[in-house]
Structure 1
Amino acid sequence: MTDPMLASLLGLMVGDALGSQFFVPANRAAFDAQALPPGPWAWTDDTEMAASLHLILNRYGKVDQDALAASFAERHDFDRGYGPGTNRLLRLVREGGDWRTLARESFDGQGSWGNGAAMRVAPLGARFAADPAEAARQAALSAEVTHPHPEAVAGAVAVAVAAALARSGPRPGPFLDGVLAHVPAGKVRDGIAEARHLLTVSDPSVAASVLGNGRQVAAHDTVPFTMWAAARHLGDYEAAFWTTAAAGGDIDTTCAIVGGIVGSPPAAWLAECEPPPAWALTP
């Protein structure tokens, strides 16, 4: 696939859709056997928001925050599994509210530190693969629309830079060093630094016990583990997916992040997945 941003979007989408299948009790046996459950696999809010970001980047060549907020609000499908805070935010934006005010209502005016900005941003990083610093800057702009808390912004920056760097196939250590060079100080950065120390660990459960697995739905509890999983399996989508899923937690989101970083999912997996929204692929 020649379009790196689209390859990342599809990798994110498959990770999200397949990961979400393992919340269904009937699919537990397939999960334990690392087998694919029956399709079609429906994607969640992770993909819907990533699709809006893909659309805006194709249309403007950069993050236009007002256009991105409008697209998030217009495309918002309540049944895709959005969190309550984002559901409320997008409904109020759709009704004419100012995202700049609404996004900062939680955490004493800092906004949410959830993993929502990180889960959708990998395609942006792939687009700016030649300039990781610009990927970081654009990722911060994209995060501020819904998750302006510094930790949420740091999570989005980390994922975008990881997706940018992954295109060149670096070794795991230098890969995480490159990510750390762009992530500001805080819980997310501390977690990624710890992930760097854990690269010799092969058991995802052990890594997740230290780094988190998204169970808290917070950027600092989600992004460090996804950096570890992606670093260990750059260039191998299937291994990256199963390693990430094995840690449990917020599986659809962690697998969406890692899938978007690694990109280019297997054709057979893509065929089982609900297709991306047609509107996202139209400039």
Structure 2
Amino acid sequence: MKDKLLLASKSLTGISIGDAFGESFFGDESLIKTFIQQRIIPENSLDFTDDTIMAIAVFKSLEKFGEINQGFLAGEFTRNYYLDINRGYGPSMHQYFRAVKSGENWKDVSYSKFEGQGSMGNGGAMRTAVIGAYFYDDLIQLKKMQNFPAKLLTPTKKRSKEQKPLLWLPRLRFRKNWE
């Protein structure tokens, strides 16, 4: 398991550096275009965003449980959010965390915010990289962990609480022969 955690931590390191570097290219569009055209790296503090914060929580879940534990992840996401709410969270996430802090069930809030669609942005891909590095040698488990939200979100008329997963991991398509 140490090798798996080492690979996941290296993935997390790369993610956080890429996140901070990419964040330096947000700003006044004309200025950023000039930087790009002149091959200038903007000077900034290289702060990482909410995407890295959430990827750290994914790593911690893998470290503690050897898999994605949704309850743990929801708690980590919420705790980390309140450590620094200005990391680039979108409006839906601010609403989500306020609702959870006020006592609403994270599963219900998650489903109501995202309607079972999961993360559609690059942040989901960043969190996926940590999982992929950890389960590099077990494609069955990788598929299970990556598709966890998608498997549980097939729309049904009756939806139990167990069918409402944490939705910040993207849904991936695997080749059919990867059972």
Fold equivalence (TM over 0.5):
yes
Q: How far is 1:89 from its partner? A: 1.3
2:46 to 30, 41, 47: 41
Gaps of 5+ in 2: 151-164
Residues 62 and 56 (structure 1), Cα distance of their counterparts in 2 relative to 1, 3 Å cut: same
Partner of 1:145: 166
Q: How far is 1:15 from its partner? A: 1.4
Residues 88 and 124 (structure 1), Cα distance of their counterparts in 2 relative to 1, 3 Å cut: same
Instruction: Say if 2:93 is the partner of 1:90.
Output: no
Residues 142 and 31 (structure 1), Cα distance of their counterparts in 2 relative to 1, 3 Å cut: farther
Runs ≥4 in structure 1, deviation > 6 angstroms? Answer: none
Give the superposed CA RMSD: 2.6
> In 2, are the aligned partners of 1:56 and 1:62 still within 8 Å (CA)?
yes
CA distance in 2, matches of 1:121, 1:72: 15
Partner of 2:37: 32
2:8 to 5, 8, 16: 5
Q: How many residues align?
A: 155
Deviations 1:143-166 (A, max 9, x none): 83134xxxx742xx35xxxxxxxx
Partner amino acid for 2:120? G
What are the within-5 Å matches in structure 2 for residues 188-227 of structure 1?
Answer: none
CA distance in 1, matches of 2:177, 2:140: 7
Residues 120 and 28 (structure 1), Cα distance of their counterparts in 2 relative to 1, 3 Å cut: same
2:120 to 109, 114, 118: 114
> In 2, are the aligned partners of 1:117 and 1:153 still within 8 Å (CA)?
yes
Partner of 2:65: 60
Residues 42 and 34 (structure 1), Cα distance of their counterparts in 2 relative to 1, 3 Å cut: same
> In 1, are the aligned partners of 2:116 and 2:167 still within 8 Å (CA)?
no
Identity %: 28
CA distance in 2, matches of 1:22, 1:61: 35
Partner amino acid for 2:71? D
Deviations 1:18-46 (A, max 9, x none): 11111123454332344433343011111
Q: How far is 1:182 from its partner? A: 7.9
Gaps of 5+ in 1: 159-178, 184-283
What are the within-5 Å matches in structure 2 for residues 7-26 of structure 1?
Answer: 7-25=10-28, 26=31
> In 2, are the aligned partners of 1:30 and 1:36 still within 8 Å (CA)?
yes
Partner amino acid for 2:58? L
Deviations 1:203-231 (A, max 9, x none): xxxxxxxxxxxxxxxxxxxxxxxxxxxxx
> In 2, are the aligned partners of 1:16 and 1:43 still within 8 Å (CA)?
yes
Q: How far is 1:121 from its partner? A: 2.0
> In 1, are the aligned partners of 2:128 and 2:170 still within 8 Å (CA)?
no
Residues 4 and 33 (structure 1), Cα distance of their counterparts in 2 relative to 1, 3 Å cut: farther
CA distance in 1, matches of 2:140, 2:119: 22
Deviations 1:116-143 (A, max 9, x none): 4333221111000001221121123378
Deviations 1:230-280 (A, max 9, x none): xxxxxxxxxxxxxxxxxxxxxxxxxxxxxxxxxxxxxxxxxxxxxxxxxxx
CA distance in 2, matches of 1:83, 1:99: 17
Deviations 1:152-205 (A, max 9, x none): 742xx35xxxxxxxxxxxxxxxxxxxx54489xxxxxxxxxxxxxxxxxxxxxx
CA distance in 2, matches of 1:83, 1:125: 25
Partner amino acid for 1:50? A
CA distance in 2, matches of 1:45, 1:89: 14
